[in-house]
C-alpha cells in the first residue's frame, strides 16, 4: 500500500473520516494521475541516483587502485629479477592512474622511456644515463663530427635553467646569422626551453639541411629573434696556429672520433713549420673517448704507461703507448676548470712523466669512465664502470689536477682587448724552456 499511496490522491468526506476513526469503514483508493510536484520530485530522485552511481564508480576505481597498491607487499619477488608479478602489476596500476586521472595524455613511448630513465637514474650518478634510440642517433652524429644543424655548442646554465651558446663554429650558419657565445636561448620555434634537458633542446635546434629554425635569444638583457637556415656541420676537433718565436699552438676542443687523425695532421704541420716549442690547449675540453686520449698521447709522448683503470671488482687495465711518434720538444699544456675526463688523462700523463709543464687552473676532476652498452631497439645505456689512475697511481676524480704554474684568465681583458692572459703565460713558460 505504501507505494500506491505515494502515487494516489485520496478524497475523504467528513462522514468517512468519522467512520474511519471508529474503524468501521474500508477505504477505497482511486488513481487520479501524478501531480506536477510529484513529477519534479521523481526527476530529482533519478538525477541524484545517476550522479551517485557515477561518483560511486569513480570512488570504486580509486579504492581498487589503492587496494592493489597496498596488496603489493603480500606478493613475493623472485630472486634475480625486478619484473616479478608484483612489479608488473604495479607498473600497470601506475599506467592506469596516468591514463584515467592525469589531466593530459601521455604516450606509451614516453612512459616507457621515463621508466627506463628512472631505473638508470636510481644510481644517483650524473654520468650514468639512458639514451633513447633518437638520443643515440643524435649522439653518434656529434661523435662522428658531422650532422645537420646550426654549428653552435650548447650548454645548460644551471642558474637560469636556460640553454646558453657556449661557442660558435667558424663559418657556421649560426655565425653567419649573428649568434654569439654567451647568448641565451629562450625559445626554439616558439617553444619555451626553460627547464628542458640539453638533449631535448638540441633535438629542437637540429633538423634537415636547408630548413629554417627561429631562435629567440637574450643578449645583454634584450630579447630578439634570429632566423637560421640549417646546414651540414662538420665539427673540427683540433685547431692549429703558427705563433711567433717558433711556437706552435694546438687546441683540442673535444676527444671525438675525428680528433686523433686531426691531431696527427696538426703535429705534422707544426713539424713542417719547424716548431721549437709546442702549446696544447685543453681549456674547456669536456673530454671524450679514453682510447682517443691515449692515441693522442701516442702522437708526441715517449713509450710508457699513460693511464690505467680499475673497475668495481678491482680489475686493472693498463693503457700504454710504444713511443714510436715521440717528439722531444718543449711542451706546455693549458688547462682550466672546464678541462675534464680525457683532457685530464692527457694532463696527468704529461705531468707525471715530466714531459711538459701544466699552466692555467686546476682541472674539473672527472676521474671515472663510462661504458656505452647498446640495446637491440637502438637505445643504449652509458654506465660509469670504473676509475682512472695516472701513471703514478693518482685518481683525480672529484679532486682535479693542480697546474704547475697557476694563472687566472683576465675575463675583462679577454672580452675588451682579446688578451688571453693564460695563453700569454704559457708562451712565457715555454720560451723559458726553449732558451734555458
Q: What is the C-alpha to C-alpha distance for residues 37 and 35, in angstroms, rounded to an integer?
A: 5
The second-level CATH assignment, the architecture, of 146-234 is Roll (2.30)
Q: Write the CATH number of the domain with boundaries 238-434.
A: 3.90.226.10
Per-residue pLDDT for 384 more than 70? yes
What is the pLDDT confidence band of residue 6, given thresholds at 50, 70 and 90?
Answer: very low
Choice between 99 and 65, residue whose per-residue pLDDT is larger: 99
The residue with cell 614516453 is 110
Average pLDDT, the chain: 81
* CA distance readout (Å), 139 to 135, 145, 212, 256, 412: 6, 10, 22, 11, 35
**Average of pLDDT values for 54-67?**
56
Question: Would 146-234 and 238-434 be classified into the same CATH topology?
Answer: no
pLDDT tens per residue, range 213-225? 999 999 988 999 9
Per-residue pLDDT for 191 more than 60? yes
pLDDT tens per residue, range 261-311? 999 999 999 999 999 999 999 998 888 889 999 999 999 999 999 999 999
Q: Looking at residue 140, what is its pLDDT?
A: 65
Choice between 236 and 333, residue whose per-residue pLDDT is larger: 333
Question: Which range, 25-34, 49-58, 397-406, has the best average confidence (pLDDT)?
Answer: 397-406
Which residues are designated catalytic? 341, 352, 366
**Average of pLDDT values for 308-316?**
95
Choice between 425 and 13, residue whose per-residue pLDDT is larger: 425
Q: Delimit the domains of the chain by residue range.
A: 146-234, 238-434
What is the pLDDT confidence band of residue 154, given thresholds at 50, 70 and 90?
Answer: confident
Q: What is the C-alpha to C-alpha distance for residues 146 and 336, in angstroms, rounded to an integer?
A: 27
Q: Looking at residue 28, what is its pLDDT?
A: 38
Amino acid at each position: 500500500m505504501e507505494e500506491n499511496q505515494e502515487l494516489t490522491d485520496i478524497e475523504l468526506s467528513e462522514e468517512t473520516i468519522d467512520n474511519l476513526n471508529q474503524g468501521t469503514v474500508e477505504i477505497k483508493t482511486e488513481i487520479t494521475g501524478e501531480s506536477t510536484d510529484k513529477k519534479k520530485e521523481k526527476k530529482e530522485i533519478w538525477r541524484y541516483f545517476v550522479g551517485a552511481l557515477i561518483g560511486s564508480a569513480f570512488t570504486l576505481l580509486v579504492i581498487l587502485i589503492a587496494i592493489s597498491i597496498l596488496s603489493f607487499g603480500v606478493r613475493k619477488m623472485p630472486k634475480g629479477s625486478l619484473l616479478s608479478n608484483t612489479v608488473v602489476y604495479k607498473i600497470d596500476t601506475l599506467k592506469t592512474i596516468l591514463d584515467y586521472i592525469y589531466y593530459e595524455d601521455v604516450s606509451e613511448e614516453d612512459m616507457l622511456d621515463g621508466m627506463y630513465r628512472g631505473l638508470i637514474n636510481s644510481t644517483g650518478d650524473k654520468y650514468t644515463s639512458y639514451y633513447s634510440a633518437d638520443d643515440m642517433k643524435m649522439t653518434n652524429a656529434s661523435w662522428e663530427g658531422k650532422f645537420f644543424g646550426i654549428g653552435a655548442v650548447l650548454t645548460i646554465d644551471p642558474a637560469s635553467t636556460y640553454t646558453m651558446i657556449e661557442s660558435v663554429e667558424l663559418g657556421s650558419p649560426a655565425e653567419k646569422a649573428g649568434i654569439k657565445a654567451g647568448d641565451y636561448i629562450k625559445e626554439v620555434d616558439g617553444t619555451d626551453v626553460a627547464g628542458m634537458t640539453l638533449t631535448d633542446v638540441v633535438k629542437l635546434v637540429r633538423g634537415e639541411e636547408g630548413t629554417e629554425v627561429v631562435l629567440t635569444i637574450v643578449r645583454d638583457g634584450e630579447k630578439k629573434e634570429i632566423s637560421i637556415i640549417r646546414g651540414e656541420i662538420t665539427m673540427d676537433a683540433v685547431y692549429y696556429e703558427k705563433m711567433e718565436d717558433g711556437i706552435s699552438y694546438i687546441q683540442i676542443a673535444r676527444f671525438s672520433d675525428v680528433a686523433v687523425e686531426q691531431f696527427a695532421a696538426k703535429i705534422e704541420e707544426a713539424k713542417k713549420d719547424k716548431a721549437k716549442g709546442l702549446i696544447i690547449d685543453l681549456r674547456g675540453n669536456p673530454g671524450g673517448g679514453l682510447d682517443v686520449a691515449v692515441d693522442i698521447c701516442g702522437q708526441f709522448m715517449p713509450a710508457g704507461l699513460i693511464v690505467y683503470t680499475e673497475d668495481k671488482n678491482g680489475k686493472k687495465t693498463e693503457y700504454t703507448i710504444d713511443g714510436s711518434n715521440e717528439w722531444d720538444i718543449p711542451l706546455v699544456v693549458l688547462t682550466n676548470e672546464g678541462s675534464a675526463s680525457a683532457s685530464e688523462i692527457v694532463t696527468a700523463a704529461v705531468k707525471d712523466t715530466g714531459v711538459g709543464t701544466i699552466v692555467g687552473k686546476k682541472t674539473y676532476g672527472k676521474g671515472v669512465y663510462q661504458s656505452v652498452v647498446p640495446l637491440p631497439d637502438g637505445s643504449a645505456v652509458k654506465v660509469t664502470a670504473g676509475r682512472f689512475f695516472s701513471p703514478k697511481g693518482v685518481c683525480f676524480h672529484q679532486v682535479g689536477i693542480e697546474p704547475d704554474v697557476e694563472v687566472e684568465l683576465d675575463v675583462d681583458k679577454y672580452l675588451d682587448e682579446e688578451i688571453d692572459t693564460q695563453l700569454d703565460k704559457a708562451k712565457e713558460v715555454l720560451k723559458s724552456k726553449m732558451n734555458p
